[in-house]
């Protein structure tokens, strides 16, 4: 009987594991709640109308066409029975496995204030991105037909919480949306008057970057008109906006880009977990006490040589997925296992806006146009298929020369969401 490998999650880690297992003498099942692989680093561009969903997502079945040993299953995993070796699903019979790879990712954390989730939008899925896009664009449409100046100001106030890469990227692109793309499209309101705030409890945005790169990012954001608020924590999020320190800020849209927490794989396995809920794994990415169960990407906590866990980045997940796939292929073929996993740090980047980005490559850093160009090339190459690369490149080129955005259609969801929130 061929060994059964179940991989949970079609993100960077899960898909890398699938590809590394190509040709293995095993029956592989890829399980995900959606039917597609999503390129999350560009998700914010869907949320700000720069790209369409199909530009950064590809059907999982398309990506596995060349692997007849792979079965794709659209289902939600809700638990693991490690003793019986069963993956429990939200509906249907459990899946038996001989080897299990958990690549379930992470979700946003509201730091013990889960009630804030009702009033703040997060960005983790295509549904999230489309909901944000609808609300952003609808805020301008609603302001155009509003006579109350105070209401116009509330509608055109956008608060982004969290000064990490996602928060910085969101704040910068919302500012560019208002300053350039929408600037000439309205008659009664001035989109340039939109107020964009980026709130970071720490003393710097992009605090993981070295040297003076965070200072450059802050100044670049401010040059776009973004109000950067540092050293103040959000103490309340409600239907009217936020409270930052002691200050009430009325806003129609609050975007939460702060802390994250791992999906509940550690709880499923009763395994040791890091502070963010990620499973602490062994040097081969397996779960202690369960040599046939692996956790990779954001759901895992892998300590590097310096004793610190690896960051929750796409390259980490991809490298771990490739490593585990090769390890399992070697195990099935009776070959010697590869040496313990070692992460190759290829650098970290963050884009701030048009021609503005920062990049840390360890021995040297980049900023400005060159960093933005490097960021663009790297992200184009990381897209999983040729069609996506062509579409993203075409949209970026068109936006570069025209300052336009081609994904600005409203379907009414933003109107319904806004009415529900305001009510």
Same domain? For 103 and 119 the reply is no
Q: Residue 67 falls within a domain, yes or no?
A: no
Same domain? For 122 and 187 the reply is yes
For 381-409, what is each residue's pLDDT tens digit? 888 777 788 888 888 777 776 666 666 67
Same domain? For 153 and 214 the reply is yes
Catalytic-role residue among 134, 169, 176, 200: 169
Whole domain around residue 93: which residue ranges?
4-33+75-108+260-333
Number of domains forming the structure of the chain: 2
Same domain? For 163 and 286 the reply is no
How does the average pLDDT of the chain come out, rounded? 92
Query: What is the structure's pLDDT at 415?
Result: 52
CA quadruple 164, 168, 174, 175: dihedral positive or negative?
A: positive
In what side-by-side order are the strands of the sheet with 95-96? 77-81, 86-89, 95-96
The whole-angstrom separation of Cα 254 and Cα 74 is 31
Residues above pLDDT 70, as percent of the chain? 95
Q: Tokens in use for 280?
A: 């602490």
Same domain? For 125 and 198 the reply is yes
The whole-angstrom separation of Cα 358 and Cα 26 is 43
Same domain? For 252 and 381 the reply is yes
Same domain? For 98 and 237 the reply is no
Burial 16-32 (b: 16+ CB within 10 A, else e): bbbbbbeebebbbbbbb
Question: Is the model more confident about 134 or about 306?
Answer: 134
Same domain? For 132 and 196 the reply is yes
Answer whether residue 417 shows pLDDT above 60: no
Query: What is the structure's pLDDT at 73?
Result: 97
CA angle 314, 21, 344 (to 5 degrees): 35
Q: Which of 26, 25, 43 is CA-nearest to residue 34?
A: 43
Q: 3-class SS at 83?
A: coil
Which CATH number characterizes residue 251's domain?
Answer: 3.50.50.100
- Within 8 A by CB and 6+ apart from 398, the residues are 404, 406
What predicted TM-score, i.e. pTM, was given to this entire model? 0.90
Answer with the one of 278, 306, 333 that is the final residue of a domain: 333
| Rounded average pLDDT over 65-83 | 96
Q: Tokens in use for 259?
A: 């802390």
Contact 104, 265 (CB under 8 A): yes
The whole-angstrom separation of Cα 40 and Cα 129 is 10
DSSP 75: -
Same domain? For 137 and 240 the reply is yes
| 169 carries an active-site annotation | yes
Confidence of residue 416 (pLDDT cuts 50, 70, 90): low
For 142-177, what is each residue's pLDDT tens digit? 999 999 999 999 999 999 999 999 999 999 999 999
Q: Tokens in use for 355?
A: 């021609």
Q: 3-class SS at 158?
A: strand
Which DSSP string corresponds to 8-41? Answer: E--SHHHHHHHHHTTT-SSEEEEEESSSEEE-GG
Q: Which of 53, 122, 43, 83 is CA-nearest to residue 314?
A: 43
Answer whether residue 318 shows pLDDT above 50: yes
- What is the number of alpha carbons within 13 Å of residue 316 lying toward its C-beta? 19
Question: Is the model more confident about 189 or about 405?
Answer: 189
Q: 3-class SS at 247?
A: strand
Same domain? For 265 and 398 the reply is no
């Amino acid at each position: 009987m061929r060994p059964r490998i179940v991989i949970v999650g079609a993100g960077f880690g899960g898909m890398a594991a699938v590809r590394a297992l190509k040709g293995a003498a095993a029956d592989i099942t890829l399980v995900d709640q959606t039917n597609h692989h999503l390129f999350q680093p560009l998700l914010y561009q869907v949320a700000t109308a720069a790209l369409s969903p199909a530009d950064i997502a590809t059907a999982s079945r398309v990506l596995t066409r060349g692997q007849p040993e792979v079965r794709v299953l659209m289902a939600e995993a809700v638990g693991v029975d490690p003793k019986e070796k069963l993956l429990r699903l939200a509906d249907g019979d459990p899946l038996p496995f001989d080897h299990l790879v958990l690549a379930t990712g992470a979700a946003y954390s509201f730091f013990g204030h889960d009630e804030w989730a009702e009033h703040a939008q997060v960005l983790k899925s295509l549904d999230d991105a489309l909901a944000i896009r609808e609300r952003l664009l609808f805020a301008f449409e609603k302001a155009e037909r509003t006579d109350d100046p105070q209401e116009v100001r509330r509608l055109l106030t956008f608060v982004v919480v969290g000064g990490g890469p996602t928060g910085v990227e969101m704040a910068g692109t919302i500012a560019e949306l208002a300053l350039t793309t929408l600037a000439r499209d309205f008659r009664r309101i001035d989109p340039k008057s939109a107020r964009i705030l980026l709130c970071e409890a720490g003393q710097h945005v992009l605090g993981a970057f070295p040297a003076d790169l965070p200072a450059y990012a802050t100044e670049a954001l401010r040059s776009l008109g973004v109000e950067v608020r540092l050293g103040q924590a959000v103490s309340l999020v409600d239907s009217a906006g936020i409270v930052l320190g002691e200050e009430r800020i009325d806003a129609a849209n609050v975007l939460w880009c702060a802390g994250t927490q791992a999906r509940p794989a550690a709880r499923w396995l009763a395994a040791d977990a890091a502070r963010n809920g990620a499973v602490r794994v062994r040097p081969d990415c397996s779960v202690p006490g369960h040599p046939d169960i692996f956790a990779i990407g954001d759901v895992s906590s892998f300590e590097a040589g310096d004793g610190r866990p690896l960051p929750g980045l796409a390259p980490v997940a991809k490298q771990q997925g490739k490593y585990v796939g090769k390890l399992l292929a070697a195990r099935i073929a009776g070959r010697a296992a590869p040496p313990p996993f070692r992460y190759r740090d290829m650098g970290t980047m963050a884009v701030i806006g048009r021609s503005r980005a920062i990049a840390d490559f360890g021995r040297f850093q980049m900023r400005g146009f060159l960093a933005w160009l490097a960021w663009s090339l790297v992200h184009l190459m990381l897209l999983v298929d040729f069609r996506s690369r062509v579409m993203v490149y075409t949209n970026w080129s068109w936006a570069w020369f025209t300052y336009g955005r081609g994904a600005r259609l409203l379907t009414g969801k933003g109107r319904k969401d806004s009415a529900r929130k305001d009510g």
